A and B are shown apart, each in its own frame.
Chain A
Amino acid sequence: MVNKEQIEQWLRDGTITQDQANKMLADSSEYRKEQSSNKLIVAISTIGSILLGIGAILFVASNWAAMPNIMKIVILVGSTFGAYYAGYFFKYQKQNLPKVGASLIFLGALLFGATVFLIAQMYNINANSHVLVLIWLIGVLPLVYAFQSSPIAGLSALLFYIWIGLFVFKGLDFYRAQGDFFKLPVLYLVSGVLLFGIGQLHYLSEKLKSVARVYRLAGIKIAMVSLFFLTFRFFSGHYENYGFFSKSLETSEQFTFGLILFSVIALLLAVIGLFFNPSKSSTNILENSLALGLASVALVFFFFPATTNIYVLLFNLILAGLVFTLLFVGYQREDMQIVNTGMFWLSALILVRYFDFFWDLLPRSLFFMVGGLILVLGGIALEKKRRQLKTKFTATPTAVVSQ
């Protein structure tokens, strides 16, 4: 629709007459009013659909005992499919509200999970069953590809990680699962590298670029969290230091199998990435070499447990190295999200290592004062640098980075 300035310009140029200009201005004003009214309707209907979804779950939950099973199922399935259909209607059938449609499809994916869990509850299926999360994941995964949905890709990554945790501890008591618990960060590290590799493959399809990015970022994030845990002696140190935990540190078969399987696939994907560069990334060799290195270190750590605290030092160095790699890559690609991830882990690493090294060395008062000072000054410096980069990236016309 044309705006007022354009109409006035055309009038000045003599392209249109005063009558035509008046008519166009009136039409334009009417159109805007209609658009605004439409937006209001969209906002209200979106909020309404979300409230309906939440309402349906709460209604079923609060009337659990009083409601016959068939009614529970009808309400839950009805809200799930209602949201899903409304999403499709707005995004693809009418095509007038694609964003609202996408959010409704996402709501449908969430409600699908709620339906699975509430049905499981209806049949008293064991709480924390990994199968339920797997069903949810299997149900929503096709939506990622059918609708190229980034939020659903994020949800899938999250479900994948939750499923790993629940699967590892299925049927295990904590005492029996100590070995698995201590090695869990290694499994998550490998799964992060794996997801990074899977994400990379998605670049082979032009349509799935946004999904590829979500998977790769999710992979990086979980790998960083896992590495952070591994920088502590508690997870990567010499186990005899921990008395009670020194016994029974063998991992379960399911854990060992999962770790080897994930590692092999992650290594394979890294090699594929190294040779074929599906993401067409300028830092491809660096990225895939790191993926190869991380998966290999994880395997070495798993199969050759520490007899000294060498792994603690190694994981600290790796995390520090990755932080600087993220900052470097983020800066190169002018990608604020990668820079922010790097800065966050840089702060976290400095903070915990400060606690580790100076807690015993400094008097308490001095420890907190220096710590506080580092936090405040470090925070200011990082925020200043972050803003500078953000301004620089947004000001550069070529700042379109999607990898």
Chain B
Amino acid sequence: MDKKKIFILLGIFWLVIIGGFIGFKEYTLRTGQEVLLKTTPVDPRDLFRGDYVVLRYDISNIDSGTVVAERTDFKSGDRVYVGLDIKEKYAVATNIYLTPPTNGLYIKGAVKDVSGNRFNIEYGIESYFVPEGEGKTIERQLGRSVDVKVSIDKSGNSVIKALLIDGQEVKFR
């Protein structure tokens, strides 16, 4: 194969990767169900990625007594599907499934660790990026109600739509 063909094919390959990446996230954003998650932000800094706020949700730490779990002997890294129900405007965990349930709203996650009867679960939506230096501003709002609007598609994939402080969407500049 000549260099020109290779060059074009590699260019297409890059476009597919970038396009697929964007398409996957846009699909979740556009087709997903919008839910509100209650959060607690903490602010670390990451030199490689700029400023971001680490978010911990109520559904990040689940008491096994409050949900119906298909299994309780989870190990770190196990894939789980957490069934959600909307109660007083927030999505709360009701079930933990090992395979995607056939109906109802659920979010895909992975068990981070198990501590006693509590499961620490990660959903891939634990970082919220903010312009340089603005992370501290959000951290100062700790005493107030901080929520995150998340879009969850039918496969349980989730993407953050907005950060809300006292019900108001946070906009920078």
A interface, CB within 8 angstroms of B: 61-62, 64-66, 73, 77, 80-81, 84-85, 88, 92-93, 112, 115-117, 119-129, 135, 138-139, 142-143, 146, 170-173, 176, 252-254
Partner of B112 from the list A81, A93, A116, A171 (CB cut-off 8 Å) is A171
Pairs A–B under 8 Å by Cβ, sample size 10: A66-B173, A119-B21, A123-B25, A124-B52, A124-B128, A126-B122, A126-B124, A139-B17, A143-B10, A252-B77
Task: Establish whether residues B127 and A119, one from each chain, have CB atoms under 8 Å apart when the complex forms.
Answer: no
Q: Report Cα–Cα, A124/B53, bound state, in Å.
A: 10
Interface residues in B157-173 (C-beta closer than 8 Å to A): 159-160, 171-173
Q: For A115, what are the chain B residues with a Cβ–Cβ distance below 8 Å? A: 18
Known: A124-B128, A139-B14, A171-B122. A92 touches B7 (CB 8 A): yes
Task: Establish whether residues B14 and A124, one from each chain, have CB atoms under 8 Å apart when the complex forms.
Answer: no
User: B113 interface residue, CB < 8 Å from A?
Assistant: yes
Q: For A139, what are the chain B residues with a Cβ–Cβ distance below 8 Å? A: 13-14, 17
Q: For A77, what are the chain B residues with a Cβ–Cβ distance below 8 Å? A: 15, 18
User: B131 interface residue, CB < 8 Å from A?
Assistant: yes
Q: For B111, what are the chain A residues with a Cβ–Cβ distance below 8 Å? A: 171
Task: Establish whether residues A126 and B17, one from each chain, have CB atoms under 8 Å apart when the complex forms.
Answer: no
Task: Establish whether residues A135 and B110, one from each chain, have CB atoms under 8 Å apart when the complex forms.
Answer: no
Query: Would you call the interface of chain A mostly helix, strand, loop, or mixed?
Result: helix
A376 → chain B, closest Cβ, in Å?
Answer: 35
Task: Establish whether residues A135 and B22, one from each chain, have CB atoms under 8 Å apart when the complex forms.
Answer: no
**Count: A-B pairs, CB below 8 Å:** 105
Q: Report Cα–Cα, A84/B49, bound state, in Å.
A: 24
Partner of A61 from the list B13, B50, B54 (CB cut-off 8 Å) is B50
Q: For B50, what are the chain A residues with a Cβ–Cβ distance below 8 Å? A: 61, 121
Partner of B113 from the list A125, A128, A146, A173 (CB cut-off 8 Å) is A173
Task: Establish whether residues A172 and B76, one from each chain, have CB atoms under 8 Å apart when the complex forms.
Answer: yes
Given A119-B22, A122-B129, 6 more contacts at CB 8 Å?
A: A84-B10, A85-B11, A115-B18, A124-B52, A171-B111, A176-B113
Q: Report Cα–Cα, A127/B129, bound state, in Å.
A: 9
**Looking across the interface, which residue of chain A has its beta carbon closest to that of B110?**
A171
Q: For A254, what are the chain B residues with a Cβ–Cβ distance below 8 Å? A: 77
Partner of A117 from the list B17, B49, B75 (CB cut-off 8 Å) is B49
**Looking across the interface, which residue of chain A has its beta carbon closest to that of B159?**
A123
Q: Report Cα–Cα, A81/B46, bound state, in Å.
A: 27
Determine the interface band of chain B, counting residues with CB < 8 A from chain A: 35 or more
Interface residues as binary, B117-142 with A (CB distance below 8 Å gives 1, 0 otherwise): 00010101111110110000000000
User: B89 interface residue, CB < 8 Å from A?
Assistant: no
Partner of B13 from the list A80, A126, A142 (CB cut-off 8 Å) is A142
Interface residues in B1-29 (C-beta closer than 8 Å to A): 3-4, 6-7, 10-11, 13-15, 17-18, 21-22, 25, 29
Task: Establish whether residues B52 and A171, one from each chain, have CB atoms under 8 Å apart when the complex forms.
Answer: no
Task: Establish whether residues A81 and B77, one from each chain, have CB atoms under 8 Å apart when the complex forms.
Answer: no
**Looking across the interface, which residue of chain A has its beta carbon closest to that of B78?**
A253
**Looking across the interface, which residue of chain B has its beta carbon closest to that of A252?**
B76
Q: Report Cα–Cα, A193/B165, bound state, in Å.
A: 51
B72 → chain A, closest Cβ, in Å?
Answer: 18
Known: A115-B18, A254-B77. A121 touches B112 (CB 8 A): no
Q: For A121, what are the chain B residues with a Cβ–Cβ distance below 8 Å? A: 49-50, 52, 129
A333 → chain B, closest Cβ, in Å?
Answer: 32
Task: Establish whether residues B18 and A84, one from each chain, have CB atoms under 8 Å apart when the complex forms.
Answer: no
**Looking across the interface, which residue of chain A has its beta carbon closest to that of B52?**
A127
Task: Establish whether residues B46 and A128, one from each chain, have CB atoms under 8 Å apart when the complex forms.
Answer: yes
Task: Establish whether residues A64 and B77, one from each chain, have CB atoms under 8 Å apart when the complex forms.
Answer: no
Q: Report Cα–Cα, A64/B133, bound state, in Å.
A: 13
Task: Establish whether residues B75 and A253, one from each chain, have CB atoms under 8 Å apart when the complex forms.
Answer: yes
Q: For A172, what are the chain B residues with a Cβ–Cβ distance below 8 Å? A: 76, 112-113
Partner of A119 from the list B3, B18, B46 (CB cut-off 8 Å) is B18
In the A-B complex, the 8 residue pairs with the smallest Cβ-Cβ separation, listed nearest first, are A65-B172, A124-B160, A123-B25, A127-B127, A92-B3, A146-B6, A121-B129, A171-B112
Q: Report Cα–Cα, A252/B46, bound state, in Å.
A: 25
Q: Report Cα–Cα, A135/B20, bound state, in Å.
A: 11
Interface residues as binary, B16-45 with A (CB distance below 8 Å gives 1, 0 otherwise): 011001100100010000000000000000
B166 → chain A, closest Cβ, in Å?
Answer: 20
Q: For B48, what are the chain A residues with a Cβ–Cβ distance below 8 Å? A: 117
Q: Report Cα–Cα, A61/B10, bound state, in Å.
A: 27
Q: Report Cα–Cα, A139/B122, bound state, in Å.
A: 27
Q: For B77, what are the chain A residues with a Cβ–Cβ distance below 8 Å? A: 170-171, 252-254
Task: Establish whether residues B131 and A64, one from each chain, have CB atoms under 8 Å apart when the complex forms.
Answer: yes
Partner of B11 from the list A84, A125, A129, A171 (CB cut-off 8 Å) is A84
B139 → chain A, closest Cβ, in Å?
Answer: 16
**Looking across the interface, which residue of chain B has its beta carbon closest to that of A88?**
B7
Q: Report Cα–Cα, A142/B5, bound state, in Å.
A: 13
Q: Report Cα–Cα, A253/B50, bound state, in Å.
A: 31
Partner of A126 from the list B15, B22, B120, B125 (CB cut-off 8 Å) is B125
Task: Establish whether residues B4 and A92, one from each chain, have CB atoms under 8 Å apart when the complex forms.
Answer: yes
